[in-house]
């Protein structure tokens, strides 16, 4: 058995610097347990409970080749050691001398350790810690690796969120997003509905094909003169601002696309610059020629939307055109005013066709009457009025307008087919009315005869008559032949 005073001072220095052994060596040197916070005044006054805490402690180091143990005999030896402590005081190494350690020094050490812990908590940066490889557990390595992976994922997620935050989801459903590429000036103005805006735009399909490339394109904001994506995005821009706009097909060219350059259901990415914005246009102060120019542009836009079967948007364009082409707000030559009027009547007629497609029959009839008040013999207006009345259940009145249109244009197949259809419908309605009146008067309606059975019975009747005549003729011939033989 080795005694503590037999440990060389050099070896005890190595053990003291080892973090895994520091607390245990301090326990034996100072004669107290940190967890119990009990501080004896002298090392010779050692309680029996503290001595029973570790009856056997094994210290393994690279410098020591033998085992240092403290057996049960330590209880009896403690008294002897206390008596001979004065004799062995000069022989014991100073690093394990506990005679000069006071309660004040222990308290100072506790304060210092507490200050070190507070500094480590306040400093989040990792510090190098000496660690005994023999005491490193597998879970500690796994936890450290997992923390590094989670930190990398957090950084990646933050980058993705930061990149996503650069895009503004205009509608909140991800179908229309924009990102600012160049900010506007400090006092730049934002356009409002009905303002005349000028933009520079370039679009790209998903395969990189360029579409809708314009160096300068002017349109009235909110009038539906362009695709919905531009109307919605430009309303949020400021003069001089450049954005990237990503739009789904729904707010661009939809399921039909645009032949030949834009396929159906195409998502498009646009780079848009708002060059300038002007105040709303004053159509009332324009000349007839200027009104005709802007009105025709609206009407052509409506025709484009009608072909694409976007009837609601087409009605909006036709309505805008009708307001611009009003000749009452213009004083010009009769010829110029006549052109305005004719273009306006075309818009009413086309708008009625769209309204019939959307089952807005009253609105369609009203639009047609605006035409018939000026041109009573307008075939299209007569035809669409008749169709609207028939759809409302006014078959007789609708058939009357159809026949007026047929007289003016008898070769139109659509009109003739519609007249036949309405005639059959009117006949069926008249028969149902007669049956209803007879039931009200208590009379039985005449039984419906089957025309096919009547025709078959008449055929059989004539067949029997012809057969009888034929038999009679044959019999007379046979009788005459016998008479001649005799």
Cα angle 452-456-460, degrees, rounded to a multiple of 5: 170
Return d(Cα 285, Cα 300) in angstroms, integer.
23
Paired tokens of 104: 């004040």
What DSSP character marks residue 56? Answer: -
Query: What pTM does this model have?
Result: 0.59
Q: Are 398 and 387 in contact (CB under 8 A)?
A: yes
Q: Are 222 and 320 in contact (CB under 8 A)?
A: no
Predicted pLDDT of residue 15: 37
Predicted pLDDT of residue 440: 73
Largest CA distance in the chain: 189
Predicted pLDDT of residue 116: 65
Paired tokens of 324: 């611009």
Return d(Cα 111, Cα 95) in angstroms, integer.
21
**DSSP states along 216-255:** EEEEETTTTSS-HHHHHHHTT--TT-EEEEEE-GGGTTTT
3-state secondary structure of 126: coil
- Give how far Cα 390 sits from Cα of 11, 235, 253, 368, Å: 114, 43, 35, 14
| 409 CB neighbour count, 10 Å cutoff | 15
Which among 99, 107, 82, 105 has a CA at the least distance from the CA of 29? 99
Predicted pLDDT of residue 458: 63
Predicted pLDDT of residue 209: 95
Q: Tell me the pLDDT of the chain (486 aa) as tens digits.
A: 334 343 334 433 333 344 443 444 443 344 434 444 433 333 333 444 444 444 433 434 344 333 334 334 444 444 444 444 444 444 444 433 444 444 555 566 666 666 666 655 555 544 444 445 444 444 444 455 556 666 665 555 555 455 555 889 999 999 999 999 999 998 999 999 999 999 999 999 999 999 999 999 999 999 999 999 999 999 999 999 999 999 999 999 999 999 999 999 999 999 999 999 999 999 988 999 999 999 999 999 999 999 999 999 999 999 999 999 998 888 888 899 999 999 999 999 999 999 999 999 999 999 999 999 999 999 999 999 999 999 999 999 999 999 999 999 999 999 999 999 999 988 887 777 666 766 676 666 555 555 455 555 566 666 766 777 777 776 777 776 666 665
Predicted pLDDT of residue 121: 52
């Amino acid at each position: 058995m080795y005694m503590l005073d037999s440990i060389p001072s050099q070896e005890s220095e190595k053990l003291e610097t080892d973090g895994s052994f520091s607390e245990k060596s301090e326990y034996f040197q100072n004669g107290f347990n940190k967890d119990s916070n009990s501080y004896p005044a002298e090392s010779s006054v050692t309680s029996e409970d503290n001595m029973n805490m570790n009856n056997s402690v094994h210290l393994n180091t690279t410098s020591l080749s033998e085992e240092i143990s403290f057996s049960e005999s330590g209880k009896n030896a403690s008294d002897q050691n206390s008596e001979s402590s004065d004799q062995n005081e000069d022989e014991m190494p100073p690093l394990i001398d506990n005679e000069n350690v006071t309660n004040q020094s222990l308290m100072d050490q506790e304060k210092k350790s507490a200050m070190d812990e507070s500094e480590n908590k306040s400093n989040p940066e990792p510090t190098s810690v000496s660690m005994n490889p023999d005491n490193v557990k597998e879970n500690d390595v796994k936890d450290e690796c997992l923390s590094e992976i989670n930190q990398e994922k957090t950084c990646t997620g933050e980058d993705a969120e930061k990149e996503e935050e650069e895009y503004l989801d205009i509608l909140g459903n991800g179908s229309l997003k924009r990102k600012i590429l160049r900010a506007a000036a400090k006092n730049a103005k934002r356009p409002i509905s009905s303002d005349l805006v000028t933009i520079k735009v370039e679009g790209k399909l998903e395969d990189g094909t360029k579409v809708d490339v314009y160096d300068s394109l002017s349109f009235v904001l909110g009038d539906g003169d362009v695709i919905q994506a531009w109307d919605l995005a430009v309303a949020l821009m400021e003069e001089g601002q450049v954005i990237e706009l990503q739009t789904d097909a729904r707010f661009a060219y939809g399921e039909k696309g645009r032949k030949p350059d834009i396929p159906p259901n195409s998502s498009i990415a646009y780079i848009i610059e708002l060059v300038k914005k002007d105040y709303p246009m004053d159509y009332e102060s324009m000349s007839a020629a200027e009104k005709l120019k802007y009105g025709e542009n609206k009407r052509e836009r409506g025709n484009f939307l009608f072909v694409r079967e976007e009837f609601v948007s087409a009605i909006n364009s036709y309505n805008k055109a009708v307001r611009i082409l009003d000749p009452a707000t213009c004083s010009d030559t009769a010829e110029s005013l006549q052109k305005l009027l004719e273009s306006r009547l075309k818009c009413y007629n086309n708008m009625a066709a769209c309204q019939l497609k959307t089952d807005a029959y009253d609105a369609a009839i009203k639009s047609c009457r605006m035409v018939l008040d000026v041109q009573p013999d307008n075939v299209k207006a007569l035809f669409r009025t008749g169709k609207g009345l028939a759809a409302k259940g006014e078959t007789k009145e609708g058939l009357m307008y159809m026949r007026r249109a047929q007289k003016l244009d008898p070769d139109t197949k659509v009109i003739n087919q519609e007249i036949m259809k309405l005639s059959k419908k009117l006949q069926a309605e008249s028969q149902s009315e007669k049956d209803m009146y007879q039931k009200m008067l208590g009379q039985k309606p005449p039984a419906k005869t089957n025309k096919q059975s009547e025709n078959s019975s008449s055929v059989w009747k004539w067949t029997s008559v012809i057969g009888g005549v034929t038999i009679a003729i044959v019999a007379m011939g046979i009788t005459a032949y016998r008479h001649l033989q005799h």
